[in-house]
Amino acid sequence: MKNKIEISGLEVSYGDKPALNRVSFDVHENEILGIIGPAQSGKTTLLKVINRTLEFVPEASMDGTVKLDGVDISTIGDVYGLRRRIGMVLPLPVGLPLSIYDNVAFAPRAAGLRSKSQLDELVERCLQQAALWDEVKDRLDTLGTKLSGGQQQRLTIARALSHEPEVLCLDEFSIAIDPVTTMRIEDVLKTLQKEMTILLVTNLVQQAKRLATRTAFLLNGDLVEIDSTDVIFSDKPTHQATYDYVNGTFG
């Protein structure tokens, strides 16, 4: 089993306030790694480190290393290239004020793709992968912001896929969408797992249980435990805090 990402001794602080404390773990290629933990435990911070968007936060400082395919990401000069390899889907859909088509074609065009037929093909493929194509194929020129919340979240996923990422990070993607749409997107993720590595930050522990190959439990910036999802959700995870959190008896 190949490691896609290797994190070692990762420490992050905002000013003098620690957010992650010497966190070390690997992410296996083609797994869905569930990342669970209460509010403020450092989940979003972890994703920001991985695609180097923590650099946008002036008061943040970090130590430790993150390797992607064995290469320390801090040594990667082409940070935009790195962010294309690591797609990010945020909690609320952030649709560009553009048509459905242009939302998905935006990044490939910015990267220089001009051929109409290639763009058409790519837009269709990404919308298919995000399970949105059938609902929008007849109105690709309407504004993305006119879609329902759940459709916009799938549009956000389609846009993340337009970069052909190797790693897809999702930060609480289902926070603003209904359970039926959530299930559809969960099915999408299971299919995408065959082609990429997925980091799934979720407040819904049952979502990690349904989807994740392995699950990591973060608490106050500490990685309490990472193990196969079966173990994390069993009667005997290694730590009592893990048991309490996944069973809703925490705190």
Interface residues toward Mg ion, by CB under 5 A: 43-44
In the list Mg ion, ligand ATP, none, the entry touching 138 (Cβ below 5 to 8 angstroms by class) is none
Least distance in angstroms from the C-beta of 61 to ligand ATP: 11
Query: For ligand ATP, which stretch binds (CB under 6 A), given 39-47, 174-182, 191-199, 224-232?
Result: 39-47
Q: Strand 167-171's sheet: what is its strand order?
A: 86-89, 167-171, 197-201, 32-36, 214-219, 222-228
Enumerate residues 55-114 that contact ligand ATP by CB under 6 A: 57, 59
DSSP string computed for 157-218: HHHHHTT--SEEEEESTTTTS-HHHHHHHHHHHHHHTTTSEEEEE-S-HHHHHHH-SEEEEE
Give the CA distances from residue 24 to residues 76, 136, 171, 226, in Å, rounded to whole numbers and listed in that order. Answer: 20, 42, 20, 10
The count of residues interacting with ligand ATP (CB under 6 A) is 13
Cβ count near 53 (within 10 Å): 15
Kindly tell me which residue out of 34, 42, 108, 150 binds ligand ATP, with binding defined by CB under 6 A: 42
Residue 30 or 203 having the CB closest to ligand ATP: 203
Q: How many CB atoms lie within 10 A of CB 29?
A: 15
Considering only the C-alpha atoms of the chain, give the largest distance between any 2 of them, rounded to a whole number of Å.
56
Query: Residue 27: beta bridge partners?
Result: 5
Residue whose CB is less far from ligand ATP, 49 or 155? 49
Q: Do the bridges between strand 71-72 and strand 60-68 make them parallel or antiparallel, or are there none, so unpaired?
A: antiparallel
Binding-site partner at residue 41 among ligand ATP, Mg ion, none, CB < 5 to 8 Å by type: ligand ATP
Q: Give the other-Cβ count within 10 Å of 137's Cβ.
A: 13
DSSP-derived 3-state class of residue 108: helix
**Binding-site partner at residue 59 among Mg ion, ligand ATP, none, CB < 5 to 8 Å by type:** ligand ATP
Instruction: Tell the smallest beta-carbon distance from residue 175 to ligand ATP (Å).
Output: 9
Could you say whether residue 250 binds ligand ATP (CB under 6 A)?
no
Name the residue nearer to ligand ATP (CB basis): 104 or 169. 169
Stretch that binds ligand ATP, among 42-50, 92-100, 119-127, 230-238 (CB under 6 A): 42-50
Q: Give the separation between CA 38 and CA 40, rounded to whole angstroms.
A: 6
Interacting partner of 19 out of ligand ATP, Mg ion, none (Cβ under 5 to 8 A depending on kind): ligand ATP
In the complex with ligand ATP, the residue whose CB is nearer, 57 or 111, is 57
Q: Which residues bind ligand ATP (CB under 6 A)?
A: 14, 17, 19, 37, 39-45, 57, 59
